Structure 1
Amino acid sequence: MLRQSLVLLGFLVLGGCAQVPDEKIDERDPLQSFNRPMYDFNMDVLDAYVLRPVAVGYVAVTPTPVRRSVVNFTDNISAPTDVINATLQGKPANAGISVARFLVNSTVGIFGLFDVATSLGLTIVDEDFGQTLGVWGIGDGAYLMLPGMGPSTARNLTGDVVDNFVLPEIALTTPQTILVFALKAVEARASLIPQESLLNESLDPYIFMKDIYFQRQLYELHDGNPPIEEEPKDFDEDFLESL
């Protein structure tokens, strides 16, 4: 997930929301009576008064090269997590790429501030524990709209806890873990600013966000090659990539 998870965790609360009185029951979303009000709170309060202003200010005062270095640094810090999850998913090639990226970027790339590995053909491989659980056959579970974090599922919430708090604690102190999490959060929200119109102009932003989220999870679970019959359609590719 932007890293999303994070990201991508979550800081995808944007735009406006409309209620649909006769909406059909969505089996993926049995907690909609809780999720919709939480979506409104995230959007109308947290995003409007906290997340978006911080993200706008961050973009205004931070030069693009510095923002790129922040992304590179947080991606590099997360590389060991990618290695562990790729290994658990039975993907030794991906694990090897993540190990090589970490070694190259931590040294030649000056602690990950510069993504030298990509220029060497070592493209980032984003693996998270939510995907690991999916590969192991565990279903999504109920769709969740989390306060301050946006869309998730029962499976991915479990994965986010492991990825963002359990595994980093092996190498980072709690303050360092929180700092990395905050950096990812601000950058993730900032990256969505150009895509806000897609959500704001949708008939029902809540459903649009939910569908985009599930499409993105399917895309990631299948490493960018989802089953043809379930392949994402009619969604902006840049928006999908930013989640």
Structure 2
Amino acid sequence: MSSAITPYFRLLILVIIITLAGCTSTPKQQEQDNFYDDASLSDSRDPFEAINRPFWTFTWDYVDKYIAKPSSEVYTTYTPPFLRTGLYNMALNLNEPSSIINNVLQLKFTAAAKNTGRFVLNSTIGLFGFYDPASDYDWSGEQEEFGEVLGIYGIGDGPYIVIPGLGPSSVREEVGDYVDGLYWPLVVINFWPNIARLGILGLEKRAAVRDQEQLVTESEDPYEFIKNAYFQNMNYKLYDGNPPIIINEAEEDEIDALLDDFYESY
């Protein structure tokens, strides 16, 4: 079985979401409009909100609560630190070849050279990536995805989607993940080793956001909170941590008018 099964599964979910969204474009949409707040439904980034919200509820209230979070806590608590770090390094090391190509496609030749050095050194001296001797040479482990390549060349995120059981995503990210899965060595990894790789990455990702989950639970609308955080993170990655500051002139004018009224009252 090929490791491409996982990308095919995600692509299938994407097609199902778009199909369901098309099916809901009927007179029944008026009932959904009355059920959800008009302001939230006006988000052009989220045309599939009517089905995204139930998927989010299923993912956060059930899959995360009863499977992802407990599994991550058990894994991080009982796995010896050196083994946990080594397995995580190995999982990340398999992404280095795709990062090399994606950096070249963005004309980031210095970053591509560092990724190449990391992959060669860690795969040999580092015992297939279990150890990370490349970090001793200050070769950063920043990894690039094909979705970022698409973004650099002007392709937008596309509609926001929630993959049931997996969480927030977008059309551009799903296309990017699919292409990344076609790069060597991911494309030749068998099914179960690839599941193990994805499992380790997922457990570590869940552990990394453990301290921030209270922000989600305490937010007025967790769905909107996660959606906005997702797009901010995608923008952050697209610009390598230095996203441009976008000034909303309409909001600025409104604030200036309020300040003028405030000062005139005194």
Normalised by the shorter chain, which TM-score bucket? 0.7 to 0.9
Percent of counterpart pairs with the same letter? 39
Q: Which amino acid in 2 is paired with 1:72?
A: N
Match of 2:212 in 1: 195
| Equivalent residue, structure 2, for 1:40 | 57
- 1:74, distance to aligned residue in structure 2 (A): 1.1
Q: Output the aligned Cα RMSD.
A: 1.9
The answer for the alignment partner of 1:21 in structure 2 is 37
Q: How many pairs were matched up?
A: 212
TM-score (norm 1): 0.81
Who wins on radius of gyration, i.e. which is larger?
2
Task: Give, in whole Å, the separation in 2 of the partners of 1:88 and 1:95.
Answer: 10
Partner of residue 102, structure 2: 85
Corresponding letter in the other structure for 2:116 = V
TM-score, length-normalised on structure 2?
0.75
Does structure 2 retain, via aligned residues, the 8 Å contact 1:97–1:125?
no
Alpha-carbon offset, residue 108 of structure 1: 2.2
SS of residue paired to 1:218? helix
* CA shift for structure 1 position 124: 1.2
Which of 166, 175, 180 is 1:149 aligned to?
166
What is the match of residue 147 of structure 2?
130
Paired residue for 1:183? 200
2:221 alignment partner, one of 204, 208, 228: 204
Q: Secondary structure at the match of 2:207?
A: helix
* Distance in structure 2 (CA, Å) of the matches to 1:169 and 1:102: 14
Q: Say if 2:187 is the partner of 1:166.
A: no
Equivalent residue number for residue 72 of structure 2:
55
Q: Trace 1:71-110 onto structure 2 (pairs within 5 A).
A: 71-110=88-127
Q: Distance in 1 between matches of 2:212 and 2:136?
A: 27
Residue segments in structure 1 that go unaligned for 5+ positions in a row: 1-8, 10-18, 231-243
Q: Distance in 1 between matches of 2:77 and 2:210?
A: 12
Distance in 1, Cα, partners of 2:186 & 2:78: 31
Q: Give the superposition deviation at 1:20.
A: 6.6
Q: Which structure has more helix as a fraction of its residues?
A: 2
Tell me the equivalent position of 1:224.
Answer: 241
**In structure 2, do the counterparts of structure 1 residues 169 and 116 end up closer, same or farther at CA, with 3 Å as the change threshold?**
closer
Shift of 1:107: 2.0
CA distance in 2, matches of 1:71, 1:221: 23
Relative contact order (C-alpha < 8 Å, sep 6+): which is higher?
A: 1
CA–CA separation in structure 1 for the residues paired with 2:38 and 2:46 = 15
Which residue identity does 1:52 align to in structure 2?
Answer: K
1:20, 1:204 within 8 Å by CA — same for their partners in 2?
Answer: no
What corresponds to 1:233 in structure 2?
Answer: none
| Equivalent residue number for residue 114 of structure 1 | 131
Q: Structure 2: how far apart are the matches of 1:22 and 1:170? A: 44
Residues 122 and 128, structure 2, Cα contact 8 Å, conserved in 1 = yes
Q: Aligned to 1:229, what secondary structure does the other structure show? A: coil
